């Protein structure tokens, strides 16, 4: 199918709609972002691609980076990774401490903040230079040497990130954090500060739509089984406590970030990334959700 006409039609329609919600102002640097930005980049595994709006402008990808940290940890540890966290939807906000008490410090999944913090602890334990090695992995999967952290955003998150500090210390009290909480939480803030464009995100994670193999050189990043399971967790947990709504309306594995980005994967077809900084009450991009709902409906292109 030639998706370009449908993508353009949906983009023009959603562009005219008034975006609801607001930017993630609780992170000072994100409060400065232009709320009217809107970009889309669509890339098929056959090489065709299509971009609209602000698709080449870098933004803070925030929790979309948790897909990369999960993939890197999963690649190294294999199924042992699930001894440290679950694969179930949380049903609670992404920064909630509630379930950690009853679950004895084991996060429900790797995409809520608690789970991503445990992933950071795993990477610190496995890698000699976790920050450099994570960036190397990101640059490898994207074939892009320019990907980097934003020191300003990392420091901005640290200045207000008291709940994430509490999460890390609470998990540590149950023995599910092995390194010092200060080291782990600093790495977590760096992870969330990565800046990329819609084009760069779609290109980086296209391997998840290709059985775990990069398109450019056919290198196996994850096994087919690991890829299937990563996509499954994105489907059930990738948009926090709005993941069921996303599955209901969009029907694709996805991962959002409070920077306003949403990555969506159609296995064996394409990757598409949206960016619109105004967030709904669940912390997900309003226009991103709207675009994907209309697109998968018009193109008959969900996994269901």
**pLDDT tens digit string along 144-199?**
999 999 999 999 999 999 999 999 999 999 999 999 999 999 999 999 999 999 99
Residues 163 and 243 grouped into a single domain: no
C-alpha 89, offset from chain centre: 15
Domain end: 192, 208, 227, which one?
A: 192
Q: Are residues 238 and 184 part of one domain?
A: no
CA 220 distance to own-chain centroid: 20
Axis crossing angle, helix 65-77 with helix 181-192, rounded to the nearest 10: 120
Give one DSSP letter per residue of 134-188, joined into a string: HHHHHHHHHT-TT-B--HHHHHHHHHH-HHHHHHHHHHHHTT---S-HHHHHHHH
Secondary structure of residue 189 in the 3-state scheme: helix
Of the pLDDT bands very low, low, confident and very high (cuts 50, 70, 90), residue 242 is very high
Dump the DSSP string for 37-52: --EEEEEETTS-EEEE
- Average confidence score pLDDT of the chain: 96
72 and 188, same domain (yes or no): yes
Q: Tell me whether residue 116 is in a domain.
A: yes
Q: Is residue 75 part of a domain?
A: yes
Distance of CA 173 to the CA centre of its chain: 27
Residues 128-142: tens digit of each pLDDT: 999 999 999 999 999
Is 28 in the same domain as 101? Answer: no
Residue 102 domain-assigned (yes or no): yes
Could you tell me if 185 and 254 lie in one domain?
no
What is the rounded distance in angstroms from the CA atom of residue 74 to the CA atom of residue 226? 8
**Residue 286 forms part of a structural domain:** yes
Give the H/E segment covering residue 273.
Answer: strand 270-275
Domain end, chosen from 192, 210, 241, is at 192
CA distance 195 to 181: 24
For the cut 90, the answer to whether the pLDDT of residue 116 exceeds it is: yes
Question: Are residues 240 and 174 part of one domain?
Answer: no
Average pLDDT over residues 253-267: 98
Residues 6-46 have pLDDT tens digits of 999 999 999 999 888 999 999 999 999 999 999 999 999 99
The more confidently predicted of residues 97 and 69 is 69
Task: Report the distance separating Cα 162 and Cα 136, nearest Å.
Answer: 29
DSSP 3-state of 29: coil
Number of folded domains in the chain? Answer: 2
Q: How many CB atoms lie within 10 A of CB 181?
A: 19
The answer to whether residue 304 sits within a structural domain is no
* Torsion, Cα of 33, 37, 38, 39 (10° steps): -80
Residue 99: which pLDDT band, with cuts at 50, 70 and 90? Answer: confident
Which residue segment(s) compose the domain that 240 sits in?
4-59+197-298
- Domain harbouring 27, CATH code: 3.40.710.10
Same domain, 50 and 90: no
Give the residue among 140, 150, 132 at the shortest CA–CA distance from 58. 150
Regarding whether 255 and 163 lie in a shared domain, the answer is no
Helix (H) or strand (E) holding 195: strand 195-196
Do 209 and 289 lie in one domain? The reply is yes
Q: How confident is the model at residue 91 (pLDDT cuts 50, 70, 90)?
A: confident
Same domain assignment for residues 141 and 69: yes
d(CA 141, CA 71): 11
Looking at the structure, tell me whether residues 173 and 231 fall in a common domain. no
Q: Is the pLDDT of residue 96 over 90?
A: no
Q: Does residue 72 belong to any structural domain of this protein? A: yes
pLDDT > 90? residue 97: no
In a domain, 223, yes or no: yes
Residues 237 and 156 in one domain: no
Query: pTM score, two decimals?
Result: 0.96
Single out the residue in 166, 192, 218 at which a domain terminates: 192
pLDDT of residue 92: 81
In a domain, 303, yes or no: no
Q: Are the C-beta atoms of 67 and 141 separated by less than 8 Å?
A: no
pLDDT at 1 over 90: no
Question: Which of the two residues, 220 and 101, has the higher pLDDT score?
Answer: 220
């Amino acid at each position: 199918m030639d998706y370009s006409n449908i993508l353009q039609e949906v983009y023009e329609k959603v562009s005219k709609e008034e975006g609801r919600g607001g930017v993630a102002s609780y992170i000072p640097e994100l409060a400065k972002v232009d709320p009217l930005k809107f970009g889309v980049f669509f890339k098929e595994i056959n090489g065709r691609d299509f971009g609209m709006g602000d698709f080449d402008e870098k933004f803070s990808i925030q929790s979309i980076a948790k897909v990369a940290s999960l993939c890197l940890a999963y690649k190294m540890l294999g199924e042992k990774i699930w001894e440290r966290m679950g694969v179930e939807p949380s049903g609670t906000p992404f920064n909630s401490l509630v379930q950690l008490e009853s679950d004895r410090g084991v996060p429900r999944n790797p995409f809520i903040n608690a789970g991503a913090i445990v992933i950071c602890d795993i990477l610190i334990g496995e890698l000699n230079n976790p920050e450099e090695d994570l960036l190397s992995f990101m640059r490898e999967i994207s074939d892009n040497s320019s990907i980097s952290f934003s020191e300003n955003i990392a420091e901005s998150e640290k200045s207000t990130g008291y709940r994430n500090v509490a999460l890390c210390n609470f998990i540590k009290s149950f023995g599910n954090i092995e390194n010092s909480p200060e080291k782990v939480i600093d790495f977590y803030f760096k992870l969330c500060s990565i800046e990329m464009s819609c084009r760069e995100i779609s290109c980086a994670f296209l391997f998840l739509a290709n059985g775990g193999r990069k398109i450019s050189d056919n290198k196996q990043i994850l096994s087919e089984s690991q890829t299937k399971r990563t996509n499954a967790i994105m489907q059930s947990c990738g948009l926090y406590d709005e993941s069921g709504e996303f599955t209901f309306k969009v029907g694709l594995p996805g991962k959002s970030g409070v920077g306003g980005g949403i990555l969506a994967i159609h296995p064996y077809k394409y990757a598409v990334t949206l960016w619109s900084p105004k967030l709904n009450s669940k912390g997900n991009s309003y226009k991103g959700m709207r675009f994907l709902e209309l697109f998968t409906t018009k193109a008959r292109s969900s996994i269901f």
